[in-house]
Amino acid sequence: MTEDVDARARARVRADEAAITGSRRRSTSLAGAARAFWRHPSPWMLAALMAATLTARLLTGDWRTSDALTPVAMLAVFPFFEWAVHVCVLHWRPRRVGRVTIDPLLSRKHRAHHADPRDAPLVFIPWQVQLWLLPATTAIALLAFPRLGQGLTFLLTAAALGLGYEWTHYLIHSDYRPRTKLYRAVWRNHRLHHYKNEHYWFTVTTSGTADRVLGTHPDPQTVRLSPTVRDLHSRETTAS
């Protein structure tokens, strides 16, 4: 009886995934995906920041308990930070203030990403944004912490989280097929956002952690296909 239930559950998962992704004629290896990943500028910019910050952190020394607690706290907060940026910035609806339209580059690029999720350059944080985002994060690290060492620990962790985000997001949209249960859950969560309904499933690097807390992780069977999932803000639509 249990095996029969499990079989039906697996069949349902396969049907859901086929419905949101369609047929796929090719696949790539993890090594192949990694080679393609490093052809884009954002990973190199983050990796360079990581290398420089790691060198500075080792030279600074002054290791304390806060250097262990800071990464742990950042890891715990990151899914909620990721959710907030996705909802408030990436899904920003253009607004007019007088004669000026407020429509950030990140928001415009993300709308293009929804229109064509397979366009690899659109998967990454735009390099134009990284040109101010990385210096701004560095300034926070140097000015907002009581010790230089702790600030560098913060910056190193932020760069690592950014690189992890870029890699996970790229891999989800690549032709690499999930081979583990954990990654399949992450993969499926984000693909539901892109191929079923853009009002839900906002986390990228985890399987709906912040979504579950903040109420944007419904049963996919209860959610209709959104008419604007590929054309954000094209017309008013309800979320369910």
The reported pLDDT for the residue numbered 237 is 41
Domain residue limits at 87: 31-222
Q: Which pLDDT score is estimated for 209?
A: 94
d(CA 101, CA 122): 22
Residue 238 domain-assigned?
no
**Residue 119 within any structural domain of the chain:** yes
Record the pTM.
Answer: 0.87
Residue 236 counted as domain residue: no
In a domain, 2, yes or no: no
Among 14-23, 77-86, 225-234, the least confident range: 14-23
Q: Confirm whether 128 is domain-assigned.
A: yes
Neighbours of 53 (CB within 10 A): 22
Q: What is the pLDDT of residues 15-36, one digit of tens each?
A: 555 655 555 556 889 999 999 9
Is residue 45 included in any domain, yes or no? yes
Nearest to 9 by CA among 219, 223, 224: 219
The total of structural domains in the chain comes to 1
Residue 46 pLDDT > 90, yes or no?
A: yes
Strands 100-102 and 95-97: antiparallel
Whether 20 is in a domain gets the answer no
Q: Please tell me which residue, 33 or 10, carries the higher pLDDT value.
A: 33
